[in-house]
Amino acid sequence: MTKTIEQILQQDQFTKDDIVRLLQSKDEDEKALFVKSSEVKLMHVGKNVHFRGLVEFSNICKKDCLYCGIRASNSAVNRYDIADEEILKAAKFAHENKYGSLVLQSGERSDQKFIDRIENLLKEIKKISNNELGITISIGEQTKETYQKWFDAGAHRYLLRIESSNKELYNKIHPNNEEHSHETRLECLKSLQEIGYQTGTGVMIGIPFQTYDDLANDLIFMQNFDIDMVGMGPFIEHDQTPMYQYKDQLMSLKDRFRLTLKMIAVLRIMMKDINIASATALQAIDPLGREKALRIGANIIMPNITPTSERANYLLYQNKPCIDEGADDCTNCMEARINMADGVIGYGEWGDSKHYKNRQ
């Protein structure tokens, strides 16, 4: 006899089939999933929502991912690289406003000058914040030496999405060359974990050719890899990318949104003490998207503190929210939003992944 969703939700462990059933759940079943995932969230990570002030400091990228608006081949993009003083100003803002943590994100680059520049910036941010600001970086695939250098300079969390744990699917959404290899991505994640970073990964949800099986395998991959943090969001097509040609084959934006919430909910039940970010891309689909994710399982939010003049140029996908607001407006807006989601902002705290601490 097939199990009911209620029965599945009472289990300690999910099989792949259970996960597929949960991801396909609708109406009352979907509600039961969200009730369970909210309970698990409150019990294991509490009401606290932690801020990560996001600085998208450059959209220069050497990669050519077929889905991404800032891919190297997109000549319609105005490329920018924010000066170090501006980045430090944003870090100061985050520190003074008790954000607790900062995320430095950019397109992928690995020339020596760039590597040294990031090292210096990290040291500088540590200095100006009296070591009070936690630092996450998200600058793509690098050598283990580079990851180590940046770790030694003060970064302690790293986000590198696997995009899909299915190698064949990964190859379909990236150019087929050595620069875009699934093996390298996995190696990078391993290096990050070995060095001692709180390691974060994630996937896009609703990409062309992706199945429920793929998504269930993605969650199992995260569990087996024992990751500390996750950021996953809906795929949103960008008309200046090759993947746009599949736009008529995609599930509706609304369905991608629901599926992302269900992915977050199932993962929260599977990995109770990890940090789960409420992806900005959720808000591109639903104005209250991020609040909804916080309610059902996410506990991290990344207010954009990139200087406003450059925000409109960091469009990985279209319809991106908050590209006009200044950093102050973002803070106020976030407070209101988090209150609405019944959360409490963990001001001034690093908000490290409990999972990372528990596995030490």
Q: Which of residues 219-248 bind ligand 5AD (CB under 6 A)?
A: 233, 235-236, 238
- The DSSP output letter for 242 is G
Name which position in 157, 161, 180, 292 contacts ligand 5AD (CB under 6 A).
Answer: 161
Smallest separation, CB 295 to ligand 5AD (Å):
22
Q: Number of residues in contact with ligand FES, rule: CB under 6 A?
A: 10
How far is Cα 155 from Cα 299, in angstroms, rounded to an integer?
21
Name which position in 65, 186, 188, 345 contacts ligand FES (CB under 6 A).
Answer: 65
Which is closer to ligand 5AD, CB of 5 or CB of 281?
A: 281
281 binds ligand 5AD (CB under 6 A): yes
Sign of torsion, CA 6 10 11 13? Answer: positive
- Among ligand FES, ligand 5AD, none, partner that 325 touches (CB below 5 to 8 angstroms by kind): none
Which is closer to ligand FES, CB of 141 or CB of 352?
A: 141
Q: How many residues does the chain have?
A: 360
Rg (CA), the chain: 19
- Give the other-Cβ count within 10 Å of 4's Cβ: 12
How far is Cα 279 from Cα 114, in angstroms, rounded to an integer?
27
Binding-residue pattern over the window 308 to 337 for ligand 5AD, x denoting contact by CB under 6 A: --------xx--------------------
Which is closer to ligand FES, CB of 180 or CB of 268?
A: 180
Q: Which residues contact 178 (CB under 8 A, 6 or more apart)?
A: none
232 binds ligand FES (CB under 6 A): no
Alpha helices in the chain (DSSP H): 5-10, 16-23, 27-44, 84-96, 112-128, 144-152, 167-172, 182-195, 212-225, 253-270, 280-285, 289-296, 308-311, 327-340, 354-358
Name which position in 61, 77, 282, 296 contacts ligand FES (CB under 6 A).
Answer: 61
Residues in contact with ligand 5AD by the rule CB under 6 A: 67-68, 161, 163, 204, 233, 235-236, 238, 281, 316-317
